[in-house]
Chain A
Amino acid sequence: QFIPPYTEDCRTDMYPPKGPTFKGAVSWYTVDLDLPPGKRWAAVISDKKAELVSMVQAIKDLANALVPSGRLIELVDVSLPLMANTLPQPFGEEIKGISAVSGVPLGEVVLFNIFYEVFTV
């Protein structure tokens, strides 16, 4: 159907994934729960640092487009790090560890982690 909602006949024989709807496979990582929370995500984040930085930058660009003064991101960077200390364990410490390994400011990692809650409105 070439007008919205672009419905189509039920697909068949799509598996194994291939073709234009398949963008790539997903890599596996191990998270060792015996490690201290701050160190559990080090391997994943070391590998995905550039992608994480790029995604956070895209969120900042959107926020700055909404509030051009940059005050919204300022608020995130100042206020949300305080929230990290209130999060239940081990989540707060894990988020701090992700911020330390990636170099992404703590408030911005907290924002990414509460995105799903925020966007339920």
Chain B
Amino acid sequence: CTSIVAEDEKGNLFHARNLDFGLFMGWDIKNKSWIITEKLKPLVVNLDFRRNNQTVFKSTNFAGYVGMLTGIKPRTFTLTMNERFSLDGGYIGILEWIFGKRDGIWMSFLTRSVLENANSYEEAKTLLAQTKLLAPAYFILGGNQTGQGCIITRSRLLSIDVFDINLKLGRWFVLETNYDHWKEPLFLDDRRTPAIKCMNQTTQSNISLKTLYDVLSTKPVLNKLTAYTTLMQVSEGTLESYIRDCPNPCMPW
């Protein structure tokens, strides 16, 4: 996955993501594609969660999946989740759950609960940073005021790091793939460097949903695992999603 929160020169916040999923789950030699990724694409839906006939939040989901990986609480915050691979991974949390130790929360259930119940960027940030989880994760959160954008790096138990937009330091965007931002990505899977290069080339004065789509359309940020691209603008409450394809030649991840 690749998630980006960026602030333009007028203080508008944009949040966009590529959802990549299906690594090592069956390679279709004939079509040069991942079997599960291709099966997931027709399941992509946009959802408008309503209570008392009013929108509470919106999300891009796979039909049949009740947790949230991508969502927006209009005029309040935007949220995406990226996988964080670790030996202390989710399977340990699941085993603990099976054996009755149930003090952690499933990560996609937490994101849904935050989208449903949190009423501010700060409240969402606190919940995402402090709630005990079953699996490690990256939460990418955007707000509706200048400087409100961050990557929360989580282990199952702790918030390891919170990396914020900082305009004073010239950091007008934060960008997360599937590696801790203070470490080098795996050399075989470096989507971060090309994505950052394209963001810097775009410049803060030209950032928009349109140019974020350009960044997320550049290989290898776009790759064979990419199921969809979502673009969100918190101030307008907009969420738009597109099913993607990566024509050959294209990286498998």
Contacts and interface: CB of A to CB of B under 8 A. Distances in A.
Interface of A: 2, 4-15, 17, 20-34, 41, 44-45, 47-48, 51-52, 54-55, 58-59, 61-62, 65, 83, 86-88, 91, 94-95, 98, 102, 104, 109, 112-114, 116-121
A48 B63 contact: yes
A87 to B, nearest CB: 7
A104 B94 CA distance: 22
Interface string B123-152: 000000000001111000000000000000
A43 to B, nearest CB: 10
A41 B66 CA distance: 9
B118 interface: no
A87 B106 contact: yes
Interface residues of B, number: 82
B181 to A, nearest CB: 17
Given A41-B64, A55-B40, 14 more contacts: A10-B194, A20-B247, A21-B222, A26-B242, A27-B46, A32-B50, A41-B66, A62-B35, A87-B109, A88-B109, A112-B65, A116-B107, A116-B108, A119-B83
A120 B214 contact: no
A114 B45 CA distance: 19
A44 to B, nearest CB: 5
B58 to A, nearest CB: 9
Contacts of A98: 64, 66
A117 to B, nearest CB: 3
In this complex, the member of A45, A86, A121 whose beta carbon has the largest number of chain B beta carbons within 10 angstroms is A121
A116 B51 contact: no
10 contacts: A11-B218, A20-B247, A21-B244, A22-B242, A34-B50, A48-B64, A58-B36, A62-B35, A86-B102, A120-B89
